[in-house]
């Protein structure tokens, strides 16, 4: 009995040592739990967002919240904080589901990190791997069941998809209409050249161009299909340029590793000592959330401005343009935090998003919970939800004045015009 108790003690000691070693090997991004807050007690939940810090491309599974037992297709881009996805990809086998533009899937074995998304669509028996870059992403989709026609269904809710068959690869582009004269564009490229499956959903246009809100691409009996894509708020040509600039491989793991390195460098700006793994999880998950917005929408020195009437593509004058702030959430702590750990980025955000646009709204908190639709800064221009006391605006303005390169006169004018005491 004594020998048994001694052995059991050794087992527990060894297990504790292994756990300690495993904890010691963790990097900052390993503590992030994107599922934290995914069941809401008030308002809406957080979402397990996959993205690089402050980047234009963000995705998460399209479902109501963590308790949902189905996902609606595969995501391509979320167009604003906690907004709906634009475009969807639905893998199917055969043409029995060809009448559907988007397929709902049951799912299992989902794993989401800030830099990757992996899920098994269990009833369909399809494995999905995904990784994002700043303005581009890549999918690897594996069909486990045998079929003579493995198909990807591409859909836009309110726009048009089109493809050209010329070239080494299949290029599929499209757009989706948003608000305030804004469109989001996408350019898909598949590893294997393929042809569209002609259905009533698409039409043949001049030359070799097919178009429709939904396009079906057939890959025959190919088991693993890889596709990558770029996104843009300027046009489809820029979306393709963004793809070409950012992703040159067909290896999802390679893109994910680059994303992991970026996240570790970013989150590692704050090192913590002591505490438990739970404390570190709460801390680094919270820090990860601060990098979801604002987002940089500059594309090769240009950006689409929904602030200007009718929507205009403008030069960023060498300063990245940031938007989608939802400042009723961020002015209290996120902006002050960035003054400390991301001063250059915060200065860029203030220059474009809070001072340069001061003639429109100033984009600083005011003491109303809801304002007319033109008053909230988002990727589609100005939308209406914000919170905070008028005094908070002044304090925030004073913090901003400590940053180099601020236009203090414009900031003071905006505060004087829009602050309610």
| Greatest mean pLDDT among 197-201, 242-246, 405-409, 413-417 | 242-246
Model pLDDT for residues 189-247, shown as the tens digit of each residue: 999 888 777 665 566 565 556 778 898 899 999 999 999 999 999 999 999 999 999 99
What residues form DSSP beta bridges with 132? 137
Instruction: Indicate whether 189 and 247 sit together in one domain.
Output: yes
Q: How many domains does the chain have?
A: 2
Instruction: Indicate whether 171 and 307 sit together in one domain.
Output: no
Instruction: Indicate whether 221 and 359 sit together in one domain.
Output: no
* Overall average pLDDT of the 320-337 stretch: 85
Rounded Cα–Cα distance for residues 154 and 171 (Å): 12
Residue 16: inside a domain: no
CATH code, domain carrying 33? 2.70.98.10
The pair of structure tokens assigned to 143 is: 């069909």
Instruction: Indicate whether 66 and 194 sit together in one domain.
Output: yes
pLDDT at residue number 300: 97
- The pTM (predicted TM-score) of the whole model is 0.83
Residue 396: inside a domain: yes
* Overall average pLDDT of the 52-81 stretch: 93
Integer angstrom CA distances of residue 99 from 62, 103, 107: 20, 10, 22
Give one DSSP letter per residue of 292-318, joined into a string: SSSEE--BTTEEEESSSTT-EEEE-TT
Instruction: Indicate whether 93 and 208 sit together in one domain.
Output: yes
Reply yes or no on whether the pLDDT at 86 is more than 60. yes
Three-state DSSP class for residue 412: helix
Instruction: Kindly state the percentage of the chain with pLDDT values over 90.
Output: 54
Residue 66: inside a domain: yes
Residue 22: inside a domain: no
Burial 382-415 (b: 16+ CB within 10 A, else e): bbebbbbebebbeebbebbeebeebeeebbeebb
* Residue 166 near residue 208 (C-beta atoms within 8 A): yes
Instruction: Indicate whether 250 and 307 sit together in one domain.
Output: no
Rounded Cα–Cα distance for residues 262 and 322 (Å): 19
Residue 87: inside a domain: yes
Average pLDDT over the chain, rounded to an integer: 80
Residue 6: inside a domain: no
Instruction: Indicate whether 350 and 218 sit together in one domain.
Output: no
Residue 10: inside a domain: no
Lowest mean pLDDT among 53-62, 176-185, 191-200, 335-344: 191-200
Model pLDDT for residues 54-67, shown as the tens digit of each residue: 999 999 999 888 88
Instruction: Indicate whether 226 and 144 sit together in one domain.
Output: yes
Range of the domain at 100: 28-263
Residue 350 CB neighbours (<10 A):
26
Q: What is the DSSP letter of 29?
A: G
The pair of structure tokens assigned to 169 is: 């690869």
């Amino acid at each position: 009995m004594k020998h048994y108790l001694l052995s059991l003690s050794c087992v527990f000691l060894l297990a504790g040592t292994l756990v300690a070693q495993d904890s010691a090997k963790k990097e900052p991004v390993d503590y992030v739990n994107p599922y934290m807050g995914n069941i809401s007690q008030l308002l809406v939940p957080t979402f397990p967002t996959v993205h690089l810090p402050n980047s234009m491309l963000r995705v998460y599974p399209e479902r109501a919240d963590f308790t949902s037992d189905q996902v609606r297709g595969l995501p391509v881009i979320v167009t604003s904080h906690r907004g709906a996805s634009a475009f969807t990809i639905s893998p199917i086998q055969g043409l029995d589901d060809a009448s559907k533009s988007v397929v709902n899937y049951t799912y299992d074995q989902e794993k989401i990190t800030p830099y990757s998304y992996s899920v098994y669509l269990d009833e369909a028996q399809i494995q999905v791997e995904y990784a994002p870059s700043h303005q581009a992403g890549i999918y690897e989709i594996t069909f486990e069941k045998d079929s003579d026609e493995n198909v990807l269904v591409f859909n836009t809710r309110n726009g048009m998809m089109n493809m050209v068959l010329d070239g080494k690869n299949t290029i599929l582009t499209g757009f989706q209409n948003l608000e305030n004269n804004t469109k989001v564009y996408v350019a898909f490229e598949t590893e294997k050249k393929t042809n569209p499956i002609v259905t009533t959903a698409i039409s043949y246009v001049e030359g070799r161009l097919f178009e429709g809100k939904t396009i079906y691409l057939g890959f025959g009996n190919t088991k693993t299909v890889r596709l990558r894509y770029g996104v843009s708020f300027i046009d489809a040509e820029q979306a393709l340029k963004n793809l070409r600039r950012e992703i040159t491989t067909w290896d999802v793991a390679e893109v994910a590793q680059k994303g992991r390195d970026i996240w570790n460098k970013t989150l590692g700006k704050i090192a913590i000592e002591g505490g438990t793994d739970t404390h570190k999880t709460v801390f680094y998950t919270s820090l990860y959330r601060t990098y979801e917005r604002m987002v940089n929408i500059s594309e090769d020195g240009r950006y689409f401005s929904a602030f200007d009437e009718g929507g205009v593509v403008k030069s960023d004058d060498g300063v990245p343009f940031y938007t989608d702030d939802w400042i009723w959430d961020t002015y209290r702590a996120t902006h002050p935090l960035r003054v400390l750990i991301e001063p250059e980025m915060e200065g860029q955000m203030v220059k474009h998003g809070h001072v340069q646009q001061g003639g429109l709204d100033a984009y600083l908190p005011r003491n109303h919970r809801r304002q007319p639709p033109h008053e909230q800064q988002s990727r589609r221009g100005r939308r209406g939800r914000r919170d905070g006391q008028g005094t908070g605006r002044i304090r925030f303005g004073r913090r901003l004045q400590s940053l180099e390169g601020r236009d203090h006169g414009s900031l003071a004018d905006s505060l004087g015009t829009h602050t309610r005491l």
